[in-house]
Structure 1
Amino acid sequence: MRSEIASNRFGYSTLVRSCCIGREIAKALCKGGANVYGLSRTKELLDTLKEECPTIKTLCCDLNDWDATRKAVQDIGPIDLLVNNAGISLLQNFLDVTPEVYDQVMNVNLKAVINVSQIAAKTMIDRGVGGAIVNISSIASERALQRHTVYCVSKAGLNQMTKVMALELGPHKIRVNAVCPTIIMTELGRAFWSDPIVNKPYIDRTPLGRFGEIEDVVHTVMFLLSDKSAMIHGTTIPIDGGLFVS
């Protein structure tokens, strides 16, 4: 699922761009009393999200379309929190990378982040309220993965963009941070990574000896959105069980 979700920040307005992890972030915000808007190009996914959280409002839109996305997000209203979580990965060997795959991945993983973040940040600045933005990156931003050339580059770019955003938006009291999850056991993750032959090399390199669960990401993001992280700004936090230090 690729979506944007706007909410009422435990008192703020929040925007979450999402897949299944973003879906759980949106539900957590909903449980906290947030007013949530879901934006996705797939109506069926929005329908099931609304079934799970009837208070969520939904909008159909493709993140690849700059103008349509901008119009949809602008129509939502004031935004105080933003979670950029939508992302795609199209696997190709380095020697086989095509312009089409490069453009498609970069459009979602970086260009759409710029688009939505500009809108959200400008509403925060215009209202003088400050806010918080969390970008969902990946361990692939730091670890080279075979057949993930464009994905790795997009996430490394997202990390650096997080720092630039923090530098420029900090004076407006807008905090910007990123999280870098390891392999997360979503439904798709379990289907592929539950095989011990496949997962053993990665588990052996992880000091905590396991992959991440969706709630590991959700809890970290919720913390970064909250005032409890009021002095955390411009950071990239691994959610990796220690993989980065091994």
Structure 2
Amino acid sequence: MRSDQVVIVVGAAAMGSIGHAVAVRAARDGADVVVADIERPPAMIPDVETEAGWTGLAGVVREIELLGRRALAVTCDVTRTDQVRALVAAAEEQGEIAGMVNTTRAPIEPARSSLDMDDDVWATTFDINVRGALSCAKAVARSMMARGRPGSIVHISSLAGIHPLRGRTAYCASKAALNMLTQVMALDLAPAGIRVNAVCPAIIATHRIDPDEAAKAERAGVSLAEQRRMLLAEQSAAIPLGRVGSAEDVADVVGFLLSPASSYVTGQLVTVSGGLGYPVPIPVYPGEH
């Protein structure tokens, strides 16, 4: 990647998240990076970040600058078209946009039967996971086309968009829609030399807050961090490679898809799963035993 090229990473504020790892990897690969996210409400910030004194996007910017690359933080809600456009305009001022990685996702829904699917949760999930992804990809693709340059767009999807998970109706359906959106846009943008791919991780160890894990931790009288450690240990046994994935495992694949080494790869759904194919341990709904 040339030193005057810029990569946008949307959804990078959470410490140890996929977006955080992708942004740092892009800087290591020689890009300047524009990182974006919403102003996260306190309920979305895990205790581990508070205890570490994590400063969100500002912390990611500092890491990138320590690697000798330029970085810019922009507040952006992907459901706001005006904010997405402002994000791309800010990135254009930094240099030529060579890539965009969309890692945003709606807060994961509590495990419930599809018969109990809440209409508001469904609408919000699709608004962020699908319409927001389309908005970001459109704005970046138009910028690339205006400059007559090729580029790479990568969406972070999920193995759950390929193999269903019980109780995650909106999440699975929205990620399946994101996968198809990726493949359609790959066809539409191929004549312009713009590649579009999706990375579909399975079980990745991050600090995200899952309502079912939080409820289980409360019932067991343990911390969320301890509950997560126990869950990941259980899930590791189902993974052929014998461990859960890390955010860096995903970032490595994204780095390839952003690089010239993947110049003949587009419209692909690349799984990062350690060999896992769902199902994993089935969640228990409230009231089930």
Q: TM-score, normalised by structure 1?
A: 0.87
Indicate conservation of the 8 Å contact 1:80/1:120, yes or no.
no
Task: List per-residue Cα deviations over 1:71-108 (Å, max 9, x = no partner).
Answer: 33233214221111111222251222222111211111
% identity of equivalent residues: 33
Task: List per-residue Cα deviations over 1:137-188 (Å, max 9, x = no partner).
Answer: 1111122222211000011111111110111111111111111111101234
After superposition, the CA RMSD in angstroms is 2.3
Q: Report the CA distance shift for 1:186/1:92 in structure 2 as closer, same or farther (over 3 A).
A: closer
6, 18, 23: which one aligns with 1:13 = 6
The reply on whether 1:27 has 2:24 as its aligned counterpart is: yes
What is the rounded CA distance, in whole Å, between the counterparts of 1:67 and 1:99 in structure 2? 26
The reply on whether 1:185 has 2:205 as its aligned counterpart is: yes
What is the rounded CA distance, in whole Å, between the counterparts of 1:176 and 1:10 in structure 2? 22
Indicate the structure whose relative CO is greater, using CA pairs within 8 Å and at least 6 residues apart.
Answer: 2
The reply on whether 1:114 has 2:147 as its aligned counterpart is: no
SS at match of 1:228: helix
What is the rounded CA distance, in whole Å, between the counterparts of 2:278 and 2:230 in structure 1? 25
The reply on whether 1:68 has 2:83 as its aligned counterpart is: yes
95, 98, 107: which one aligns with 1:80 = 98
What amino acid maps onto 1:195 in structure 2? M
The reply on whether 1:195 has 2:192 as its aligned counterpart is: no
Residue 16 of structure 1 and its aligned partner are, at CA, apart by 1.5
Bigger drift between 44-53 and 175-184 goes to 44-53
Residue 225 of structure 1 and its aligned partner are, at CA, apart by 0.6
Aligned length: 237
Q: TM-score, normalised by structure 2?
A: 0.75
Q: Report the CA distance shift for 1:10/1:176 in structure 2 as closer, same or farther (over 3 A).
A: farther
What amino acid maps onto 1:65 in structure 2? R
Q: Which residue does 2:118 correspond to in 1?
A: 98
What amino acid maps onto 1:30 in structure 2? A
Q: Which residue does 1:59 correspond to in 2?
A: 74
SS at match of 2:239: coil
What is the rounded CA distance, in whole Å, between the counterparts of 1:74 and 1:188 in structure 2? 30
Structure 2 unmatched runs, 5+ = 41-54, 210-223, 280-289
Structure 1 unmatched runs, 5+ = 1-7
Q: Which residue does 1:213 correspond to in 2?
A: 246
What is the rounded CA distance, in whole Å, between the counterparts of 1:228 and 1:11 in structure 2? 18
Q: Which residue does 1:129 correspond to in 2?
A: 149
Structure with the greater alpha carbon radius of gyration: 2
